[in-house]
Each structure stands twice: as structure tokens, then as C-alpha cells.
Structure 1
Amino acid sequence: MISTWVSAIVTLMTFVNGVKNEDGIQACAKVHTSSSVVPLGSPVTATCVIKEDCPLVTGQAFHIEWRLDDRLILSSSETNESSRVSKAVISSFNETRAILTCCIQTSPPQVVAGVEIRAGYPPEVPQNLSCQTNLTTPLTITCRWDPGQRETHLPTQYFIHTEIWDANKKRSYELPKGVHHYTIPRPEFVLYSDMKIYVKAVNELGETTSAPLILEPISSAKFDPPKIFQVMSERHRCLRLRWNLSPHQLWVGSNNMNLEIRLKSADSSQWNDPVFARNAKPSRPVDICGLLHWTQYFAQIRVRYQQSPWSEWSSSQSGVTLESAPTGSLDSWMKISGDHMPKQLNISLFWKPSKQFRANGQNVLYIVSVRKLPGEKGQVCSTRENYCTFQLSGRVKKVYVRAVNAAGISPPTEVWIYKPKAHPAVLDVTAVPYGNSSFLVQWESMVSLGLTDHVVEWRPLLKTDLSLIRFEIAQQNLSSIVITGSFEPYKPYGISVYPRFTDGIGLPKTVNAYLRQKAPSMVPKIHVQKTWKSRIELTWDQIPLDQRNGIIQNYTVFYWDQKGPINIVNVDPEERSVILKDLNVYDAFLMVRTLGGSLNGSIIHFEFEPFDAVAVVMIVIASGLGLSLLIIFIVLTCFSEQKRLKGFFWPAVPDPVNSSILRWASESTQVQKVDIHQNYKEDYEEPNPIYLSHLSFLDLPMKLSKEEDDLWIKSAEETSDLGESICGSPFITEYSGSNSDSVPYATVMFSGLCNSPPPKEPHVYLRSESTQPLLETEEPFTPKCYQNLVNDGMTGKQCFFGPSHDCAPKEETDPSGLWEDFPFLRALTMNDTQND
């Protein structure tokens, strides 16, 4: 369908131009319209007339229809005998461009005539016409205008017209389509003659003309930035500027220049409001007054001719006003601590200029004194810094601070000395970055009587210089403040808030803050502190403050084995150790995180033996300690119970040939030999004497029967101990071979006590219970009578066991050798003799 209408449009254009087609057919219809270019949205009327000689309708009935591009529109027909006419009415033409065709209704429809209709708007009046003269080479005037906001949809032509009144010279310049500015060359205008300039816009629907612009070319010139070549001070609070036009525009030499001057102090980032100077001449300097004393200012200027555009600002030049005595008071902040000396205070005093203070000079010196009147007497400090430290007596209540320069001295600033008081008025403090060079400090404080204000103090934690301490004072009803300074990113700052009372300074709250944070510069190395079976304690050192680059949020330990997943343990920033459990062979590393990023440390490897070495060592130490204590106890017991243990493990069976009754008793009851026996000492003492006990004596007035003999043998275990004296010693009622120092040797029974007269019946000697023989051959029950040795040294004969033929005296017998074979009996003899 589209191709059909394209071919129809081509055919239509051929008809309109009156050109024959391939078949030589001439146009047989004509379309008449009210206008081919109409305002957008206006009505359009068209009439189609079919000629009589049109071959398409000869001899046949036909019907005429209208189409706008490819759309069918309503029409009305008027027929008479001479012609065929059809009329179409379009109530509102909303297309910017369309083809209206007249067709004969056949199959397919035949286009017999048509016309192109365009719609748009007439041009708007050009607005905001402005022209600017360029004084640089080449000299020109450039004019610009605004064509309007509405699109015309029709080709619009612009023309700029100039008219020089003095020369009666008119010019008109045609602009290319779509161009809304034009540059007038230098020969077409005169700098100091008025000229009229206006713009005309033309299209098919009409034309418009802008309001005329009357100007003098020099008054529309934008000058180059002027130059300040000197700033000086000749009066108090005034600066004088000397200036000139740009070197390329000195030829202008105008005396009607307007000038604007702006200033700013060296410590400010904002320019003051410009100062206007009318009819300024380059050859005449300009004075600006009302400035601060001894303050460095930067100055800039710009120029224009009458109402011409302002030039750009010139480059800056600086100057300093004259010096005068300092004025205003200082803001102060005092920190006090006690000294080792009684009633002495260490004072650190800080100050800064208040809003009213002006140094008004250079090389300002600050003097701290305890006297209100100026003078060297009472002076405690003199410095060019913003702080001072000194000692004062506790009786001093206040000090005075003055600023001094070459022109004079300021009024004193009174500073009261308030001692610290333990009053926690500030509950909590937070500090967050506020822009690129500030912190927003907020705090919570309790309601306290006598609270006057708060002092916010901050300092860099990596530097200890007191001159870097800064402070701000906030009123008592404030709970936040913005502090500004030369803060560096990634560096820690300590920010403290002190409550200040009428009678003292309360306890501060301090917080560490960073303007910007990033990942730490290093990660501490992990150390294995302790190991247990399948458990390990890992520790690490604290990161140095200058390497943290932010506030540590937490430590994270990652550990894993070759088969299992990665395990993660988070550790609080206050802790620097962690215990890992149920481990075998693992790798691990530590990650440190701040709000600005995180950094991973190096990987360490650790593994565990089947038995924990620490546990084994502890068990061995405990076992060795217990065994050592046991051995020590046994050794001490052996030394204290040597005889008892020896008798238990190695029973001592005495040898009658080598025995001594004097050694049988315990050491505490041994009978010491008298002096008379000293010549026999070597014969009676053995190298290794055997100590025996339990020698029992029973009083037996009559001969024992067999039953009594058995009873006596049974009661031998209950005999007395010979550890005491044989005669008259108390008897020990119990005997046990396992607890005694020796075994019983024999039991001797007497018919009476030791001090009784000799018995009529002989003494009875009973063999011991020992299973070992006393002699190599068994002896008869009643032994032979032996000689007894008298204690007084005189030889005598006595029948100890009764009369016998062996008791006959023998002069040649040696007393010391009589008992060599029976030392036991010798002891009995000695005992008996002593009792006699």
C-alpha cells in the first residue's frame, strides 16, 4: 500500500509539473487550494476539477475521492454539464507537511491531481539583542540574540541591520540559516559614534523585527583584566592601590572608567564586598580605608567603560596596614595539676584570639603576670607561642595575660585559677567527620549547679608538642560544636570535653577520632602462646598507633585444614588472643579491620602431635615430684626406724661367742662400763656389736612342770624389755617379732628378786624360741656352772647355777678369757654381782 502511494505521489508531481509520463498521458485534472503554506492548526479548503478530455473518465461513470497522504477524507461533489468538480474541506490542518490528492475511484484508484501543503508558525520577535566590542586585534562588534522558544517548522531567514547616524551609513547582513549571531567588521562602525542595530526574521508566514539597540561601540567593549602594580599603606587602617589598563589597551586612554576593588585578609577565604569607584583614571591611585591594623590584605580590581561589561578580575596583590597596639581580650583555657611540693600547682595556660581581639602588629609577645598592672614584677611567663607552663602557689587566685607589639600593649585578660574537681558532668562524647577539615563533636551532660560552659580540647596523638593543642569554648546550653583545623587524614586525634564550673573544672570525657580512615598499614604476627591436646592459644601484639590508620573494629582469625572448610573467629579489638579447639593440622592468618578497610596478615602453619607435649611434661613433672616426696619420706623413716626395720628384714641371731649383754639394751639405757673395766675394754667391744633385747627373768620357786614349761614358753612373748635396767625395770607386756629391734635370745628365771638371798633351788636357764641353734651341737637343758667375774676386780669363785665340780678354783685361769665363748653369761654374772 505504501509503495502504491509513493508511486502516486511521483505521478502527482509529474502532473503538477505538466510533464508527460511513459504513455504520453497529459494531466486531466487540477487542484486549487486556499494556500499551500498555512498556519499550523488552521482550516484548509481544496477543489478538484476533472477536465472534459480526460481519457480516464471518457464514456464512463466515475466517482472522485480525496486523500491526505494515505488517509481518506470527506468531500462533496458538484457536477454540471461542462465539468466535474469535487471540493474537500480540512477543518484543522495539524501536519507540518502533507500531500493532498484527488483520485478517481477505480481499481486500483487513479490519482489525477494533487498539491503539497505545509504548515508552521511565523517567526518570533528576536529577543535579548546584545553587542560587545572586542578591542583586541582585529577590532570587531559581535552581536547575539535569542530567536525564541517556539519552533516555526518553516525555513526562517535572519537579517542584521546597522545604521550609523553621524555618517548616515546603513548596512544589512544576511545570516546563514540557523545562525543567531553575527560579527560586524571594524570598517563598518566608529568607536565613539552611536549606531543603531536591529535584527529581522522572515519566513513564508511573515516577518518580525527586534527592538533596536543604540550604542557607542566603545561603551560596549569588554576590557582585558587590568593590572595592580603597587599596594601600600600611608595612613592607619588604609591601603593605596596604583593600577593601569592592560598593556594591549593602553591606547584607549579613557578618563571615564568605572572601577571595583575587593579585598580579603590573609587568614580568610572569603572576599569582602566590592568597593565601587566612579570615573577612575589609571594615572590616579585609589585609597581603601576602614581596614584592620597590621593586617595583610589581598586586593583585586576590574574595570568597565560607562555601562560596558565588567572585565575579569585582575591578579591579586597584597599589602599590610600600619601597626597599632593590640586590642580586645583573649580566650583562655587552663589545666592544673598538683606538684610534689606542698601547696604548689603546675599550670598549663592556653590562649587564642577572641572575635574582638586584634593583634594590630607583628611579632606579638604574650606576657602572663600575677599583677594587673603592667611591669616585670610578678611576671611568670613571656612567650610568642599560644601557651605557657609555670608553677604558682596555691594561694594565687588569678593571673593576667597581655599582648604586646612594637606599637603598644593590650588591656589585660583576667584568668581565674580553678582547681580540678571530681565532678563527672559529661556522660558521653562522640566525634564524627564533618566535611573535609572539621569534626562534629557531640556530648551528653547532666544538669549540674554552677556549670558555666564546656571546653572542647583536641590534639594530635602522634605528637606531644603543647603548641599543637587547640580548644573551643561552648556555652552551657550547647551539646555539640563543629571544630575546624588542620586535621590530617588517617591520623588519630584525641578530643576531650571538660565541664567548667564557677569554682573548678570537672572530669573530662575523651574520645579518639579520625578525619578519614583506611586499612591498617601492618598486621601483627601471630604467636603460639600455649598448646594443649587439639587446642591452641594464639596471641598477637598491639598495632602501633601510627600504623592503625583508623579505629580498630575487630580482629578476625581465619583457619582451615586441607580437607575442611574455612573457619572464622571474630575477636573484640580490646582482646589480642583466641583459643582454637578440636584441631589437628591447620593454617591460619589474621585480618585487621577499620572503618576504612581491612588488611590480611601472613599465613602460619601449626600441627599437633598424638599426645600433647605440654600435657606429657606436666604429667612427668607431677609423677617425678610425687615419687621424690615418697623417696624422701621413706629415707626419713628408715633413718628414724633403722633398728626396727633392720630387725624385721634381717633378724639378728646373736652368737653366744660374740655377744655382750651390755649392748642388748637400747642406747638410752646402756650400762656404761666403770673405770675398773677400762683395761678390758678392747676385749669386750666388738667391731659390729649386735644389740639384743627381751631378756626375761621369772621368779620360779619350784621346778617347772611340762605344762608350766609350755605356759612359760608361751608367755615369753610378754616378757619385759631389757632396754631398762635388768634389776627392777618395768616389764614390757607385749612382744612382736615384726616390731622389735631384735629377737629374744633366752629367758632366765630366778627364784627371787635380785636383792634377795641366794636361792635354795638353782636358777633355770631356758632356750630361746629362735629356731636357729646357739651352738653347733645341741647342749643339755641345764648348762654347766661357770665362773663369775667379780666387779671389784678381785677374782672370786661362786657357783652361779649351783654346786658343781667345775667350780673348783684355778689360779692360773685368766678372768677375761673365761667368758670369751659365752659373753651372754658373762653379762648375767656381772648383773648378778652388781645386785649382790
Structure 2
Amino acid sequence: MPPPPPPPLLLLQADESYLCFWVCCSCCVRDTCLCDGFIVMISSWVSVIVMLVSCVNGTGTEGAIQPCAKIQASNSVVPLGSPVTATCVIRDDCLQVVGQGVQIEWHLGSEIIPSSPLVSESSKASQVVVRSFNHTRAFLTCCIQASPTQVVGGVEIRAGYPPEPPQNLSCQTNLTTPNTLTCSWDPGQQDTHLFTQFSLHTKIGDSNENYTYKLPTGTHRYIIARSGFVLFSEIEIYVKAVNELGEATSAHLTLEPVSVAKFDPPKIVMVEAVPKRYGCLKLSWSLSRHQAWMHDYRLNLEIRLKTADSGRWREQAILVSRVKSTRPVNLCRLLHGTQYFAQIRVRYQQSPWSEWSSSQSGVTLESAPAGRLDSWMKLSRDHMHKQLNVHLFWKPSKQFRANSQNVSYIVSAQKLSGEKGRLCTTMGNYCTFPLPKKGKPVYLSAVNAAGKSSPTEVRIYHKKVAHTAISEVTVVPHGDGGLQVQWEHLDVSRPTGYVVEWRPLLLSDESFYKFETVDRNHSSLVIPGSFEPYKPYEISVYPRFKDGIGFPHTVHAYTRQKAPAMVPKIKIEKTWKSHIELTWEEIPLEQRNGIIQSYKIIYWDTKGHINVVNADLKERRVVLKDLSSLALYEAFMMVSTFGGSLNGSSIHFQIEPFDTVTIVMIVTASGVGLSLLVIIMVMTCFSNHKRLKGRFLPVVPDPANSSIKRWTSDSTQYTHPSFDSDEPNPVYLSHLSFLDIPKKLSREEDDLWINHAGDTSDLGESICGSSLIPGYSGSNSDSVPYATVIFSGPCSSPSPTEPHVYLRSESTQPLLETDESCSPKCYQNMAATATEPCFFGSDHDCVVEEGADPAAIIWDDFPFLRALAMNDMQND
């Protein structure tokens, strides 16, 4: 059904600008348009110019306003770019032209287009031809040239394209309750710029049941309910597109709805080995419960497999045609003793495949391993046991078949391995053992429960050949998680091949070592696999020669890189007058996230002068030079990899006027000088030890532990050394006093001293044991009188036979109790004769001149005699 015609167009003018409104009115009177059931009010500031369409049925009510012009166009909807012709005839009774000359001009939108008057008509008719209408929608208006220009009529022209036939019509049946048939199509690549109506048409088999389904605008898909089709009857389907410029129909599609049904994913019931058949599995399956009613229909089944150690499904799936869900399927020509995972999908005839089912696994029957193993060997020296160790790695070759889930490997020094020659047995892919004697080869075999493979001979070299064949190695990411290794070899070397070895740096276990052998004519290798991003890998390329293995070339690589996870903390190591040394620790390997490309120290002062210094990657230190001691600096580090950069925390520092080196030098010089002074003083003290001891610590004999017989002048001279060998010893009295004798005994005491003036041998005994001294009772008295001992100085040498001289002391200090008798028993007064030796040192000669008066002796030099004299004077 064609669309309804557009409502009449009312053109309004305000301030020489045109406002256009679509209205549904049939006639307008003054400021009001009378419409079918409602009224449209026109604003008072808008003046009505003209009504393009007269009232319904061609007549208006009495007093209705008639249009001033009549416009006819060749077509209101035209193909885009086609010509358009229009005619404008102005009525004679139009108020705008009464009594005036008429000049007509045409406007297409805001553009003035040339026109020509009609010859057969009066000057009130004009015709215009638009040679190419390139607008999808525009107004063509007829105007009278006046002040301002008056629009007396107009028409809207729309342009576009006829619809294209719908493409790619397809339908699919859903067998899940409720059953439906869904059809979809492509409306075409070109936009028609016009309203286009789509409709879906169906015709069921021989029943002549036709259905038409109209679609909402912009919809290109429709779902037919179960009542509109029969599962096992053919149905003819097509789509029609219609617009104002024409219509188009898609190609007819004839199908059986069940043949386009998409089944639900089927279910694998069991996967098991076929008895007595190596390399065969039996697979039992069923349909989902919604399609279980089709178990008697023959369906097409597709199966895909993968081994347990493989990450990908086989590219070539196994197709089994016309099979019922009640019958299991046998899969043969598989590897022996290998675990397989299986998935299936199903369809009916040429219907779409269902989604893949969930996985189920099964293991084929075991048999003995077959084929050879690829091996790779390295040597290392064990310094503790002083021997060479062999590190042997292996992997299955393309021809190797383990034929079992549990395979172990035996390395033996004998071809026919036994317990005697066995070097190691392992379930892994490597083995370490001491180097066999005489460099004999070893033999590698695979063993499972069903048997043993033929041994693979591995030749061992005693030492690496001193050949350098690899000059450079580069590693770049390749594909999804792979690496491409390239190397350059020297022309002088003639290797027989290469070995590329790789391992993750963060894992030290040798089981993670992988290798690949490369022919001598190749210089690159693509390593597929699941390399982790942002993790470091060590890759080495070894040249192989006839007589051994050359030195490797090793690099570190990443599949993907990003900014480091951390930035080390900057430490101030040293400072100078205008320099400062900054250091930092190495970033842990697991936090680098890539290969470190640069360490940059960025610092600035308070004035905003920014400086950047690149640090050496190996030294991890930098020296900032030409710094001012008056400025405060701030600095931070930026660490970069190929994947990004990261900034660290900031530090502040300032150069002191006296730097660390200057302070250290001053402190060192001061310490050395002080140490030398202390050493000199100590040496001086030790060299003058005896003198200083005699000067500062004079020895006072202990009477309790003394013996008169041991008190010799020699020992005293040793105890009191002379400070000057040329001068006599000084006075050796540390204390000089006499006992206080009571007055009643003073006379007797005087007599005692007088009587013994010539002989003082028993003076001590008379004093010590005398009962005339009150308060003294031998050793049990509170105080014991004793005397100070006087020795002669070195000015004269007494004869060995001369008795020692003692002076009585007035001290009341108790003596140590050693004997009932006083020690010493007797005290002797010094004989004051000129012929006796001199006991008191002085600077003058000890000999008394002849004729000299003994009373003229200087008493200051003889304190003992002076004391006696004083006592005598007191007694007198």
C-alpha cells in the first residue's frame, strides 16, 4: 500500500525569513485553521502569505482566502540527480499584484534559479527547469519581486533511490521449545533516502498457504511462529522492499525447516579404549533432551581431538556421516598409550552445526616406546669433589612415540643397560651425573610398563672447543607469546649446527631448560610457546663443531615490557665542596618488568634550574658537579625500560661549606697529631719511670714488714734514685718527730739520752720496752712509737761495717703486730761527729773544715739535730 500523501504545506514569512509548517487543516480563515477535530493557532507575529492547497473538495466556505498562485511540478519525488520542471501561474485577483507589474523569480531553498515566462500565458506565469536535483529534500518556491520579496506559492521536492533487492536471505529453525523459524536478510548497501517498507512472504508446500509479514521500520529480521511452517515440508520464502520510486524482491529460498535446524550441543557419554586394538577409542554420545525425539534420524557428527600435553585442537576434525545417536563411534589410528580429549557437534543434513559439546577424555592401550630422543649436553666442574659433571637434557623428536602415560628415562654407560652401568633413572627431562671414564658415550632409553625403546647414543666431549663462532644475538617478540632469535656467525668458523637454549631467569630448576637444534644453514629460530609477559628469559646460542661445542652467546629477553614496578631509593654517598655522589641499589629482577635502558637523575634548585644526568647502568652511581653551597636542591630518579618509565620519590640535599672530605682531613690530621703527642708523653713517662715514681710517689717503709738487717743503703738508693748523678741524694726523711714524754719523766729521759750519747745500740730497746712511757704495754698498746730511718746519700759511701742510723718518731700509728718485741728492737741516735758519714744530702761538701765551729752547722740541713737542740732548749 503506498504511503498517504503529505498534508498541505503552509508557508509563513517573518522578517524576510521563511517558516514552513505542515498542517492538517482543510481551510484557513483569518488567524485560525480549521482541521479535522483540532485547531492550530498561528502566532500573531506571523502573517499568512498564501495557502498552497485549497480546501477539501476544491471549494471553500464563504469568505475563504484563495491562493494567489498555482504551482505544478513534474513530480514531487524524483530520483536523486534527475531534472525537475515546475510552473507557477499567478491569479489575476491576487491582492499582491493588482495594479502592479509582475516579475516572478524562483528559489530552490535559499538559492535563486533562472526561469522563463510562458509565451502562451500572460506575464503572470513562469516556468523553471532544475536540470539536476541533488538535494534529498528541498522547497521550490515561486516569488514576486517586491520590497520585500513575497512568496506566492511553493512545492516540496524529495529525491532518493529505488530499493535494492534484499540480499543474503537465510533462515534457521530452533528445535528448542517453542519451535520457531527465524529469517534475516541484508537490506542492501545503498541508502535510498526514502521511506522503505519491507515485508516477508512465505508459501508452504502444496497447501498454497501464503503468509505476508510486514516489518517495522529499520527491522531486517523476523521470527515465524511454529504455526507458520511445517518441520518436514518445504517452504518458499522471499522478502520484498517498496518505496515511492519502486519495489524490489529478494531471491526465493526453498527449504525444509528441519534441514536448517541448529541442534543443541550434544553430550559425550563415555570415551574408552577398544579392547585388543592399539590406537583406538570408542565414543558414546547422545542428543540433548529437547532433540532426543530425533534419535532415530541419521545425523552428521564431527569429532575433534587433542592430546593431554597439547594446547590446541587438531585442525582436521573427524567427520562421521549418517549416524544415529544410539550407536557409538570408533576412532582409530591414534597414538598408543596416549590420553586424548574429545569434543563433538551435530547437524541434520546441511543444517548449521551445533555448538561443541563439553570435553571428555580417554586413554588408548599402551605399547613400548618407539623412536629416538633429541638430546643436549653440557659440562660443569664440581670443585668440591674435583670432578666434571655432565648435564644431559632431552626431549621427544618428531618420530618419538612414548606410547604410555607413565614414561621414565634411563641413562646408562652401556648400550644394553643394566643395574651395573646405570647412571640415573628419572621421570623428568634432564639428568646430572659424573663424567664417565675415558669419555665413553652414554645411552638414553625410554621405558614404560609395556617395554623399552631402542637406546639413543649421546656422545660426550671432555671439554669445550675454544671456538668463538657467534658474534651477535638479538631476540624480538614474535606472534602471541613467542620469541624470534637471530644470530650472526663469523665467516672463519665452520660450525656443523647450532643449539638454542632458553630458560626462565626467575626459576633455577634445570627442568625448565628448553633447547632446539638448528641446521648450519640457518641463522634464526622462532620459539613458539607460552612465554609469560614482563618476565625475563635467558637465551643462549651454542655453535656445534665436529669435535665439540663452542662458547655460547647469551642474552636476556622479554616478550612484552612495561615500566618497572619500583624505583630504588637514592642515597647520598659522598660530598665535596661542589660535588655530591649519589648511589642506589639494584632493582630486583622480578620487579624490572623489562630490560633497564637508563637511570636518569633529575635535579633542580630553588631558582628552578633543571638538570638531567644519565647514570651508568653497571655502576649505579652518579656525581652531580658544580653545585652551589648556598642553594637547596631537590632530585628524583627516573628508571626506563622499552615498555615505559617510572619516577621515584624526591630527596633534598644541600652542599655544606665544609664538605665531608675536608672535615675528614681535618679530623684525621688532628687525630694523628694528638696520637703522636700521647705516644711521646707515654714514652717519656716510661723512660723516666723511676724518677717520676720517686718524685711523685715517695716510698714510705712499712715498719711492720721491715727488717733492719735488710735495710741497706744500696736498696734505698734503688728505691730513691737520684735525679742527677752529679748531685747527692736529697733528704730522705718523710717525717721527723719525737715522742712526747711526760714532764715527770723528762729528766730521766734526758739522762737516758745523755747516758747513751756515746752508745745508742739499746736506745730502741729502752724506749720500746720501757715502763716509764705511759700508755704503752708492748704490742697490745693503742700506739707504738717508732722512728724514721735515715740513710746516707750518695755524697759519701759508708763502710759496710758501719751500723745503720735510725731516728725516733713521735707517730702514734699502731704498728702491724708481728712480734712481741718491737721491730726493730733498738733505735740508735745519729752520732753528730764530723768523722761520721753525712746522712742529710746537701749541695756542699760533707767534710767539715778544720778549725770550724761545730755549733756553726746550718740547722736547716740537719733537721734531726735541730729537733734535738730544740728539745734541749725546752728542757733547760
TM-score between both structures, scaled by the size of structure 2: 0.64
Task: Name the counterpart of 1:300.
Answer: 343
Any idea what SS the aligned residue of 1:78 has? Answer: coil
1:199 to 1:583, Cα distance in 2 relative to 1, 3 A:
closer
Residue type at the aligned position of 2:564: A
Residue type at the aligned position of 2:245: L
Residue type at the aligned position of 1:295: T
Q: How far has the Cα of 1:59 moved from its partner? A: 7.1
Task: Name the counterpart of 1:242.
Answer: 284
Contact 1:343–1:393, Cα closer than 8 Å, also in 2 = no
Confirm or deny that 1:497 pairs with 2:538: no
385, 391, 413: which one pairs with 2:434?
Answer: 391
Distance 2:146 2:727 in 1: 164
Task: Name the counterpart of 1:76.
Answer: 117
Task: Name the counterpart of 1:476.
Answer: 520
State the aligned residue count. Answer: 656
Contact 2:68–2:90, Cα closer than 8 Å, also in 1 = yes
Task: Name the counterpart of 2:814.
Answer: none
Confirm or deny that 1:200 pairs with 2:240: yes
Q: How far has the Cα of 1:384 moved from its partner? A: 1.5
Task: Name the counterpart of 1:807.
Answer: none
Confirm or deny that 1:156 pairs with 2:156: no
Distance 1:123 1:402 in 2: 74
Residue type at the aligned position of 1:504: G
Contact 1:98–1:117, Cα closer than 8 Å, also in 2 = yes
Q: How far has the Cα of 1:104 moved from its partner? A: 5.6
Pairs within 5 Å for 1:532-611: 571-575=615-619, 591=637, 593=639, 595=641, 597=645, 600=648
1:43 to 1:292, Cα distance in 2 relative to 1, 3 A:
same
Distance 1:209 1:266 in 2: 53
Confirm or deny that 1:612 pairs with 2:663: yes
Pairs within 5 Å for 1:411-422: 411-420=454-463, 421-422=465-466
Distance 1:60 1:117 in 2: 31
Residues 414-473 of structure 1: CA distance to partner in whole angstroms, max 9, x if unpaired?
Answer: 111112233333344455555674444444432455522222333445554332333222
Contact 1:255–1:281, Cα closer than 8 Å, also in 2 = yes
Residue type at the aligned position of 1:519: P
Contact 2:16–2:148, Cα closer than 8 Å, also in 1 = no
Task: Name the counterpart of 1:11.
Answer: 50
Any idea what SS the aligned residue of 1:11 has? Answer: strand
Contact 1:526–1:590, Cα closer than 8 Å, also in 2 = no
Pairs within 5 Å for 1:662-811: none
Pairs within 5 Å for 1:124-523: 124-234=164-274, 235-253=277-295, 255-272=297-314, 273-337=316-380, 345-420=388-463, 421-431=465-475, 437-449=481-493, 451-483=495-527, 487=531, 492-513=536-557, 516=561, 519=564, 523=568
Contact 2:177–2:290, Cα closer than 8 Å, also in 1 = no
Larger radius of gyration: 1
Q: How far has the Cα of 1:193 moved from its partner? A: 0.9
Any idea what SS the aligned residue of 1:621 has? Answer: helix
Residues 610-632 of structure 1: CA distance to partner in whole angstroms, max 9, x if unpaired?
Answer: 67255333454257549968998
Residue type at the aligned position of 1:471: F
- Among all aligned residue pairs of Structure 1 and Structure 2, give the percentage whose two residues are the same amino acid: 56
1:257 to 1:520, Cα distance in 2 relative to 1, 3 A:
closer
Distance 2:447 2:134 in 1: 85
Distance 1:92 1:607 in 2: 84
1:109 to 1:277, Cα distance in 2 relative to 1, 3 A:
same
Q: How far has the Cα of 1:518 moved from its partner? A: 5.1
Contact 1:523–1:590, Cα closer than 8 Å, also in 2 = no
Task: Name the counterpart of 1:828.
Answer: none
1:425 to 1:34, Cα distance in 2 relative to 1, 3 A:
closer
Contact 2:102–2:124, Cα closer than 8 Å, also in 1 = no
1:57 to 1:592, Cα distance in 2 relative to 1, 3 A:
closer
Any idea what SS the aligned residue of 1:248 has? Answer: coil
Which has the larger displacement, 595-604 or 26-35? Answer: 595-604
Distance 1:182 1:432 in 2: 51
Residues 361-392 of structure 1: CA distance to partner in whole angstroms, max 9, x if unpaired?
Answer: 12211111222235445332222221222224
Residues 531-563 of structure 1: CA distance to partner in whole angstroms, max 9, x if unpaired?
Answer: 888888777666666676665666677889999
Contact 1:41–1:92, Cα closer than 8 Å, also in 2 = yes
1:263 to 1:612, Cα distance in 2 relative to 1, 3 A:
same
Q: How far has the Cα of 1:525 moved from its partner? A: 8.2
Distance 1:69 1:564 in 2: 63
Contact 1:559–1:566, Cα closer than 8 Å, also in 2 = yes
Residues 504-530 of structure 1: CA distance to partner in whole angstroms, max 9, x if unpaired?
Answer: 2223333445554653658478486x8
1:44 to 1:470, Cα distance in 2 relative to 1, 3 A:
closer
Residues 200-224 of structure 1: CA distance to partner in whole angstroms, max 9, x if unpaired?
Answer: 2222332222222111111122222
Contact 2:16–2:149, Cα closer than 8 Å, also in 1 = no
Which has the larger displacement, 214-223 or 457-466? Answer: 457-466
1:557 to 1:30, Cα distance in 2 relative to 1, 3 A:
closer
CA RMSD of aligned residues (A): 4.8
Residue type at the aligned position of 1:164: I
Any idea what SS the aligned residue of 1:451 has? Answer: coil
Confirm or deny that 1:118 pairs with 2:142: no
Distance 2:88 2:600 in 1: 92
Q: How far has the Cα of 1:350 moved from its partner? A: 1.4
Distance 1:302 1:29 in 2: 74
Contact 2:581–2:622, Cα closer than 8 Å, also in 1 = yes
Contact 1:258–1:278, Cα closer than 8 Å, also in 2 = yes
1:50 to 1:613, Cα distance in 2 relative to 1, 3 A:
closer
Which has the larger displacement, 399-408 or 301-310? Answer: 301-310
1:109 to 1:79, Cα distance in 2 relative to 1, 3 A:
farther
1:485 to 1:51, Cα distance in 2 relative to 1, 3 A:
closer
Residues 748-799 of structure 1: CA distance to partner in whole angstroms, max 9, x if unpaired?
Answer: xxxxxxxxxxxxxxxxxxxxxxxx99x999xxxxxxxxxxxxxxxxxxxxxx
1:50 to 1:329, Cα distance in 2 relative to 1, 3 A:
same
1:633 to 1:553, Cα distance in 2 relative to 1, 3 A:
farther
Distance 2:92 2:456 in 1: 117
Residue type at the aligned position of 2:510: L
Distance 2:107 2:636 in 1: 83
Contact 2:569–2:648, Cα closer than 8 Å, also in 1 = no
1:247 to 1:623, Cα distance in 2 relative to 1, 3 A:
same
Any idea what SS the aligned residue of 1:612 has? Answer: helix
Distance 2:553 2:264 in 1: 58
Distance 1:505 1:438 in 2: 26
Distance 2:365 2:429 in 1: 24
Q: How far has the Cα of 1:139 moved from its partner? A: 1.9
Contact 1:523–1:592, Cα closer than 8 Å, also in 2 = no
Task: Name the counterpart of 1:679.
Answer: none
Contact 2:142–2:154, Cα closer than 8 Å, also in 1 = yes
Distance 2:86 2:262 in 1: 57
Q: How far has the Cα of 1:604 moved from its partner? A: 9.0
